[in-house]
């Protein structure tokens, strides 16, 4: 009888799992048309252009291009279009460092960077490789001091900054505070070159891109002819404009071009030991200060663990997101700088997970007079305050010295007009929920 009960119990568990998987995949299929409709709307209404891939449990449910890769010549975006990925490059730099340092017992990410780079300013010499990887080094962000040069000449720009900043002091003691730094990742690229003896991109190609068959991932050099490369755009006074700046200065902080298909292959590298072993992957995805691991932000969102990163560079805006437990992967490579990929990803996540009360960032008609109903001062349980005020028929959200115009998404929800991944939802007339694409919401109560 005990054995039979056990069998029956196991059968019930198996049945439950099968039902759950059926419902999950059924909801994914149902949501596929919703996602496509939403993406067509933002392409039409908000001038989105780019390529998007969405994969759930090894099933690709969306993989296509929207808008044009080249508006002047009317060349549509496709799933093969090659785009600038901006700061998504940092994940690849971090992986390259971990791969490189695992190859020798004499190398360690806990070593100070003066072991690898000569003639550093004295205050920088106490910084470790690990602190560069998780943005806690305190080294000032000198990214803007680098002139645009080909990848093979970037080292000269780095040496120029190092020589100029010999009296530089750190913004914080190493390891004590999170300060996102492009220049920190530039230094990591230089460490890769010094230790490996190879060009930064050549090294990544050998240890990452070739093993993963990422055949359409390139260094962003505007001199090179790259088949399928998109043009970057901005929106000015409602008109689409060419982004004339063509620079290869992104280097190891933001200098990679890729496709959505290659980024899916990149994601799959985290599901095996092809590039990194299990302990290295665990280190990469362990959040430090600022919820930042090594090239990734790691957060809990809606009760689920989520790994993510944004990318933004001249004419382009990108985002990569995956939920490891649900095996959900989203990559958005947009070639319109002014349409936030993070807002699109946030909406796709809401559709996939059927998030209750999630309103899409699409235009919504709202009676201007009714906006006055939301005016007031709100306070969280921890004592943090926010305020909303009405002016010139517009509703504004105030956080300290920063204020943001709100755009209505429904009768009770809004987004920041310029940052649509930030959402403000009124649960009732006295309670407001504020969140962004990568954090859980904070609740504020009207005083």
- Read off the pLDDT of residues 126-138 as tens digits, 9 standing for 90 and up: 999 999 999 999 9
pLDDT tier for residue 29 given thresholds of 50, 70 and 90: very low
pLDDT tier for residue 446 given thresholds of 50, 70 and 90: very high
Residues 6+ apart with CB under 8 A from 203: 96, 100, 192, 193, 196
The DSSP output letter for 89 is H
pLDDT tens for residues 140-176? 999 989 888 888 889 999 999 999 999 999 999 999 9
214: which strand partners?
Answer: none
Which of 102-111, 127-136, 378-387 is the least confident region? 102-111
pLDDT attached to residue 244:
67
pLDDT tier for residue 206 given thresholds of 50, 70 and 90: very high
Which of 25-39, 222-236, 304-318, 320-334 is the least confident region? 25-39
pLDDT tens for residues 35-59? 999 999 999 999 999 999 999 998 9
pLDDT attached to residue 27:
44
- Tell me the helix, strand and coil percentages in the chain, rounded to 5: 35, 25, 40
Residues 6+ apart with CB under 8 A from 62: 32, 35, 36, 39, 52, 53, 54
CA distance 375 to 91: 42
Q: Return the higher-pLDDT residue of 447 and 214.
A: 214
pLDDT attached to residue 15:
41
pLDDT tier for residue 247 given thresholds of 50, 70 and 90: low
pLDDT tens for residues 250-308? 999 999 999 999 999 999 999 889 999 999 999 999 999 999 999 999 998 878 999 99
pLDDT attached to residue 19:
40
pLDDT tens for residues 214-245? 999 999 988 889 999 999 999 888 889 988 66
The DSSP output letter for 66 is E
Is 124's pLDDT higher than 80? yes
Which of 62-71, 87-96, 295-304 is the least confident region? 295-304
Q: Are 85 and 258 in contact (CB under 8 A)?
A: yes
pLDDT tier for residue 26 given thresholds of 50, 70 and 90: very low
pLDDT attached to residue 57:
93
Query: How many other C-beta atoms are found inside a 10 Å radius of the C-beta of residue 60?
Result: 14
pLDDT attached to residue 31:
62
- Of the chain, the percentage scoring pLDDT greater than 90 comes to 74
- The dihedral through the CA atoms of 44, 48, 51, 52 has a sign that is negative
With b for 16 or more beta-carbon neighbours within 10 A and e for fewer, the 277-304 pattern comes to eeebbebbbebbeeebbbbbbbbebeee
CA distance 338 to 294: 27
Ordered structural domains, the chain, with CATH: 83-352 (3.40.710.10), 368-446 (2.40.128.50)
The CA angle 402-319-42, to the nearest 5 degrees, is 80
pLDDT attached to residue 245:
62
Q: Which residue in this structure is represented by tokens 């399928």?
A: 228
Which of 98-112, 258-272, 340-354 is the least confident region? 98-112
- Average pLDDT score over the chain: 89
Q: Are 139 and 127 in contact (CB under 8 A)?
A: yes
């Amino acid at each position: 009888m005990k054995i039979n009960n056990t069998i029956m119990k196991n059968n019930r568990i198996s049945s439950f799992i099968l039902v759950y998987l059926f419902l999950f995949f059924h909801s994914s299929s149902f949501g596929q048309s919703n996602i496509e409709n939403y993406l067509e709307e933002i392409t039409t209404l908000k001038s989105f252009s780019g390529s998007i891939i969405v994969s759930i449990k090894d099933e690709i449910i969306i993989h296509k291009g929207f808008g044009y890769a080249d508006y002047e010549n009317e060349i549509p975006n496709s799933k093969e279009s090659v785009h600038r990925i901006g700061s998504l490059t940092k994940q690849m730099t971090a992986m390259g460092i971990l791969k490189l340092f695992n190859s020798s017992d004499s190398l360690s990410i806990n070593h100070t960077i003066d072991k690898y780079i000569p003639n550093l300013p004295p205050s920088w010499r106490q910084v470790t490789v690990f602190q560069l990887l998780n943005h806690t080094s305190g080294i000032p962000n000198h990214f803007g001091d680098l002139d645009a040069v080909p990848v093979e000449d970037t080292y000269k720009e780095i040496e120029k900054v190092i020589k100029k900043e010999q009296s530089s002091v750190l913004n914080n003691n190493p390891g004590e505070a999170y300060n996102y730094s492009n220049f920190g990742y530039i230094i990591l690229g230089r460490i890769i070159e010094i230790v490996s003896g190879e060009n930064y991109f050549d090294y990544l190609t050998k240890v990452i891109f070739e093993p993963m068959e990422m055949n359409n991932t390139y260094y962003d050099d505007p001199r090179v002819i790259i088949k399928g490369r998109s043009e970057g755009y901005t929106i000015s006074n409602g008109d689409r404009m060419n982004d004339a700046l063509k620079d290869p200065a992104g280097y190891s902080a933001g200098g990679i071009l890729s496709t959505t298909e290659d980024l899916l292959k990149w994601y799959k590298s985290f599901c095996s030991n092809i590039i990194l072993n299990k302990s290295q992957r665990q280190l990469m995805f362990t959040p430090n200060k600022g919820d930042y691991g090594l090239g990734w932000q790691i957060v809990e969102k809606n009760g689920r663990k989520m790994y993510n990163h944004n990318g933004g560079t001249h004419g382009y805006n990108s985002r990569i997101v995956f939920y490891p437990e649900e095996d959900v992967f989203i990559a958005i490579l947009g070639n319109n700088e002014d349409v936030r990929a993070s807002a699109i990803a946030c909406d796709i996540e809401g559709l996939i997970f059927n998030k209750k009360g999630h309103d899409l960032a699409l235009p919504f008609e709202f009676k201007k007079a009714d906006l006055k109903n939301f005016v007031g001062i709100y306070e969280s349980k921890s004592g943090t305050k926010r305020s909303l005020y009405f002016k010139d028929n517009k509703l504004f959200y105030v956080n300290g010295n920063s204020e943001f115009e709100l755009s209505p998404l429904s009768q009770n929800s809004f987004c920041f007009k310029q940052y649509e991944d930030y959402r403000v939802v009124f649960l009732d007339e006295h309670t407001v929920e504020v969140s962004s694409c990568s954090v859980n919401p904070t609740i504020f109560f009207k005083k």
